[in-house]
A = this chain, B = another copy of it.
Amino acid sequence: MHSTTGLNMTIPEKVSDLLVKLDTTEIRSKEDLYPLELLQRATNYLAASMIFLQKNTLLERPLSKDDVKERLLGHWGTCPGINLIYAHCNHLIRKHSIPMFLVTGPGHGAPACLANLFIEGSLAKFYPQYSVNKDGLNRLIKNFSWPRGFPSHVNSEVPGQIHEGGELGYALSVSFGAIMDNPDLIVTCIVGDGEAETGPTATAWHSYKFIDPAESGAVIPILHDNGFKISEETIYGAMDDTELSTLFTGFGYQVRIVSDLNDINADMATSMEWAYQEIRRIQTCARSGNPIYKPRWPMLVLRTPKGWTGPRELHGQRIEGSFRSHQVPLPHARVDDDEFRLLESWLKSYKFHELFDLSDNSFIMEVLEALPKEELRMGIRKETYAAYEPLDLPNCKELLVQKGDNESCMKITGQYCSEVIKMNPKRFRIFSPDELVSNKLDATFQVTNRNFQWSHQTSNKGGRIAEILSEHTCQGWMQGYTLTGRVALFPSYETFLGIIITMMIQYAKFIKLGMETSWRLPIGSFNYIETSTLWRQEHNGFSHQNPSFINNLINMKYEHIRIYLPADANCSLITIAHCLRAKNYINLIIGSKNPTPVWLSPEEAENHCIAGASVWKFASTDDGLDPDVVLVGCGTEVTFEVIAAASLLKKDVPELRVRVANVTDLMILPGNGSHPHSLDNEAFESLFTNDKPIIFNFHGYPSVIRTLLFDRPNSQRITVLGYKEEGTTTTPFKMLTANGTSRYDVIIATIHNVSKFHPKLSIRTHELISLYKHKIVEHDKYIEKYGKDPEHLMDKPEF
């Protein structure tokens, strides 16, 4: 244990006490760095003109106001910093032939990224209209932020990108996902000082604690500290060098602050070289069997003024080095004389005509010298668009269980995942917010370990499972891992997957555009499993009951989303096997962790999963036609209740013809062929009839079903039961009655809806409803007295 008592730490008075002197032996000669400077002059010019110019893009004649775009869109402030970093990545790649690409947190610095991609020819590789010549230049500049041109944020249409950087916070974790199991790869990641304030970034700094230097590559995180956000100073900008060094040292890094504005290229080149050498030292030790204990990976803090090299001042107000350079620093340049003159002198200051040789129709040799050799350029790295190899998958048939067994959906899923891990030792990972055991997926620990490098136990290292109590980090890791061609699984408490709803939405947007982009090749699907679901939160209560992830997923483009609610272990197994095989989707599986009856034989389960929904004849009393009512279950626990309701109805109301159906693939529901899995009208009617009352007992919020069935004919016949925000620490059955989804509630809803069409029943309506309401009251009393559910409620219903 920790024996030190009451430590009280202060920062030493002087920075120098804390700092090791800079090793200057690596500073490049001026000559060596000259091409880098030229490249930055070129990319800064291009970035600025993309924001401003629609004509005369090479300043071949004096600038006129008419050359300026009418709508000025874009973000200048971050561009010079990105250009600086991009140039130095190139430099490092040239020197060491490193496989490297860049993740740009400030993705709204698209002009900078595009400028670099253009000059290096990566744009032209994917978009011939942007060839490296005058025409291409013109087009690049004019089309930026123009309809059908590149937008003002890097997105999946932009080569070399695996992250958009629109919603801030995720660049760092995405970068770490990309380097996992890519031992040679280095990802340089720019974190803006605005982004650094987000929670997801703040905890992602810990990611290195989950990187095994023997098996994975490395990230060079660069905090780009330019001092300002949209309209305000940044926290990190207001922190002094000591504060920054101390903070990131505490996160486990070695820190270098790059801030010599008099010779930033020398400072940056030295720092990048240092970072590279430190990385190789750590990796070499680990790969030669002598791993460093808690290796301290390098990171850089780059302090440069926001909008550096841009206009200094306008009407007495500072622009360069202030928030006023965040977006368009001279917003009225087309109409205001002062602004126009400033724009002209600013653009001229880069002397672009010295860099692009019009007679030769190409950049001058010295600019091109700053680029890595062609196959190592960052915009064409295969990892970023063409690295997917399908998993080797076990045959799930061997794991399917017998009809009638009791089995946990998650346990059997865990067994399957164990096989997947064995067959794919370096291409499959599980990212989990520390709930793998709690979620009954611990079978995987029989074949692998966790991978927590800071652990005191070796048994916690070297495995396929990373557990961090940060859904944000898990999601970012999965994004980086998936978009670089591998496959991952993200199991989570159902409730807490909601934490990353907007990250999922951003990812859905990224792949929507990605799939519309011809040169992006397939990727593995995103695989979420929600378990420890709301219906079985008797340990945790109300705060652990939130099925809202489904609601948000169904707003995404139907092409990309798949949502499954398998009602038993066999269906779960078939579903996970399908999801791990599928490409390009966002898969969500809702699975129960407690043992529940296996309703379907292996063969039946397979047919059921292929159909997405079917009538469960064993529980139905309509002989396959003309039911009085259709009871639908969608989700494990609520389907159990539907079956129990049907069993009771068979006994108590034998005259009622009841059909029981189960929906395992949620997206068969919406009408008009809107989802690729949508049932056509005929199939829909053959399951649900075209006019009979439907009692739909749903796992999540009723709003999901209301939305999906809105367009189906006669939707007013549908009664949707589901979670309605009632809950606490209580018994499982009490949760069902509190939310109106128990067998009795299903029966009561049935009788309410059917009796008007069913003369015999209508006489008994009152009697029957009283009977089942009374049962609820009786069970309540039992539960209150004994603190548990009556046991017979768990019995498999009889037919």
Contact present for B551 and A552 (CB under 8 Å): yes
| Contact A434-B786, Cβ < 8 Å, known A4-B241, A259-B4, A541-B153 | no
Closest chain B CB from A732 CB (angstroms): 10
**Which of A8-16, A211-219, A655-663, A754-762 lies at the binding interface?**
A8-16
Find out whether the CB atom of B539 lies under 8 angstroms from the CB atom of A73.
yes
Assess whether A357 is interfacial by the CB under 8 Å rule: no
Q: Mark A235-259, 1 if CB is under 8 A from B, else 0.
A: 1001101011111111110111111
B256 and A6 within 8 A (CB): yes
Cα A232 to Cα B254 in complex, Å, equals 27
Partner-contacting stretch, out of A194-202, A392-400, A418-426, A621-629: A194-202
Residue of B245, B438, B729 near A230 (CB, 8 A) is: B438
CA distance A4 to B244 in the complex (A): 13
Give the contact stretch, choosing among A402-410, A463-471, A634-642: A463-471
B70 with A229: CB separation less than 8 A: no
Say yes or no for A743: interface residue by CB 8 A criterion. Answer: no
A261 interface contact, C-beta 8 A: yes
8 A Cβ contacts from A1-30 to B: 1-11, 15, 18-23
* B199 and A454 form a contact (CB under 8 A): no
How many Å from the CB of A199 to the closest CB on chain B?
A: 3
Contact of A509 among B15, B233, B543 (CB under 8 A): B543
In whole angstroms, what is the CA distance A168 to B544 when docked? 11
Q: Which residues of B contact A267 (CB under 8 A)?
A: 5-6
B703 near A555 with CB under 8 A, answer yes
Q: Which residues of B contact A204 (CB under 8 A)?
A: 199
List, in ascending order, chain B residues with CB within 8 A of A542's CB.
Answer: 151, 153, 155, 166, 509, 513
Interface residue tally on A, bucketed by range: 35 or more
Residues of B within 8 A of A454 (CB): 233, 235, 238-239
Of A95-103, A495-503, A601-609, A679-687, which binds chain B?
A495-503
CB neighbours (8 Å) of A246 from chain B are: 9, 246, 249-250
Interface positions of A from 310 to 366, Cβ below 8 Å from B:
321, 327
Chain B: CB-nearest residue to A6: B22
Chain A 175-205 against B: per-residue CB contact (8 Å), 1 yes, 0 no? 0000000000000000000110111111111
Q: Are A498 and B505 in contact (CB under 8 A)?
A: yes
**Residue of A73, A233, A557, A729 with highest tally of chain B CB at under 10 A:** A729
Q: Are B257 and A166 interface neighbours, CB within 8 A?
A: no
Closest to A509 in B: B542
Q: Which of B10, B164, B472 contacts A254 (CB 8 A)?
A: B10
A563 CA to B572 CA, complexed, in Å: 38
Q: How far is the CA of A539 from the CA of B166 in the complex (A)?
A: 11
Tell which of A10, A229, A543, A701 has the most Cβ of chain B within 10 Å. Answer: A543
Question: Do A232 and B710 touch (CB < 8 A)?
Answer: no
Taking the nearest CB of chain B, how far is it from the CB of A300, in angstroms? 9
Interface presence of A783 (CB below 8 A): yes
A250 / chain B contacts, CB cutoff of 8 Å: 243-250
Q: Which residues of B contact A456 (CB under 8 A)?
A: 233, 238
Using Cβ atoms and an 8 Å threshold, which residues of chain B touch A152? 539-541, 729
Q: How far is the CA of A20 from the CA of B556 in the complex (A)?
A: 55
A548 touches B (CB below 8 Å): yes
Binds B, one of A37-45, A83-91, A142-150, A766-774: A142-150
Nearest-CB residue, chain B, relative to A460? B233
Which of A9, A472, A502 neighbours the largest number of chain B CB atoms within 10 Å of its CB?
A: A9
Interface residue? A274 (CB, 8 A): yes
Q: What is the distance, in angstroms, from A477's C-beta to the closest C-beta of chain B?
A: 13
Q: A148 and B231: CB pair below 8 A?
A: no
26 A-B contact pairs sorted by A residue (CB < 8 Å)? A1-B303, A9-B20, A11-B296, A70-B787, A71-B788, A75-B539, A146-B784, A151-B542, A152-B729, A155-B543, A155-B728, A199-B201, A199-B472, A229-B434, A230-B435, A232-B434, A232-B460, A232-B467, A245-B250, A247-B250, A501-B501, A508-B725, A509-B543, A512-B725, A703-B703, A715-B716
In the A-B complex, the 4 residue pairs with the smallest Cβ-Cβ separation, listed nearest first, are A166-B543, A247-B250, A199-B199, A151-B729
